[in-house]
Amino acid sequence: MDLRQINKIYSEKSTEERLLMAWEEYGGDICMTSSFQTQSVPLLYLVAKTIPELPVIFLDTGFHFAETLAFRDQLINDYNLNVINVKTGMGHDNFKMQYGNLYEMDPDLCCHVNKTLPLQEELDKYKAWIAGVRGDQTDNRAAMDVVNVLEDGKVKICPIIDWTKKDLWTFHTRNELPSHPLFVKGFMSVGCAPCTRASNDDTDERAGRWSGNCKTECGIHTHIGKKKDQ
């Protein structure tokens, strides 16, 4: 079966069915990544209901808000998630000693050292990767399908790629899901503390990320997660 046919089958299934199909196909060779912010909760909730054994990678850059770490721990506890905390190989203290506030001078390099490299190393242990991206978030994400083959041959499954922002919040409200503690303070999207601010821009939920910089992605879904045909 070619990728187009596989995507046709996946696209006709519910999100829970997509997760189960991916688990059946790849079993112990599949993981998920999550940034544990409010928008991550619907997919984490569905994973907990359908495939709680799934390894969920959290990139612990050392720059997170304390609220993010607390929210991660709350969700691990409430949903009994199988979370793997991944850090940069050199350790955060060494990174700070060697690079200082690199996020001010070269955020791309900072993301590369703290996110892309450690994630690539972790993902190399698996054949497939589940990501909670939506097509309406960025142009890059709009080009993704439910099932994607990446440049390195890994399969990236995006079970909510066709959810809209409205779908996500409707699901969140209907299921009375918890929110990141900073959400009520205007943080629609939460990344590392030095690179995230509150934003009132309802039209762009990622407006508070790398604000004032043309950067819109950390590299996880562009460099590592690049589709073979992109």
- How many other CB atoms are there within 10 angstroms of residue 177's CB atom? 15
Choose the stretch contacting ligand SF4; rule: CB under 6 A; options: 25-33, 34-42, 76-84, 105-113.
105-113
Which of 19, 76, 110, 182 touches ligand SF4 (CB under 6 A)? 110
* Contact with ligand SF4 (CB under 6 A) among 195, 206, 208, 225: 195
Q: b/e map of 193-216 (b: 16 or more CB within 10 Å)?
A: bebbeebeeeeebbbbbbeeeeee
Q: DSSP string covering 122-150, please? A: HHTT-SEEEE---TTT-HHHHT--SEEEB
Amino acid letter for position 228: K
Least spacing, CB of residue 212 vs ligand SF4, in Å: 13
Instruction: State yes or no: is 110 an active-site residue.
Output: no
Site string for ligand SF4, 57-86 (x = CB under 6 A): ----x-x-----------------------
Q: Which is nearer to ligand SF4, 107 or 208 (CB)?
A: 107
Please tell me whether residue 225 binds ligand SF4 under the rule CB under 6 A.
no
- Which of 63, 65 has the CB closer to ligand SF4? 63
State the burial class of residue 9 (Cβ atoms within 10 Å of its Cβ: 0-12, 13-18, 19+): middle
CB 162 within 8 A of CB 178: no
Asked if 222 interacts with ligand SF4 (CB under 6 A), we say no
Nearest distance in Å: CB 57, ligand SF4: 15
Residue 110 parent element (H or E): helix 107-111
Q: Which residues are catalytic?
A: 218
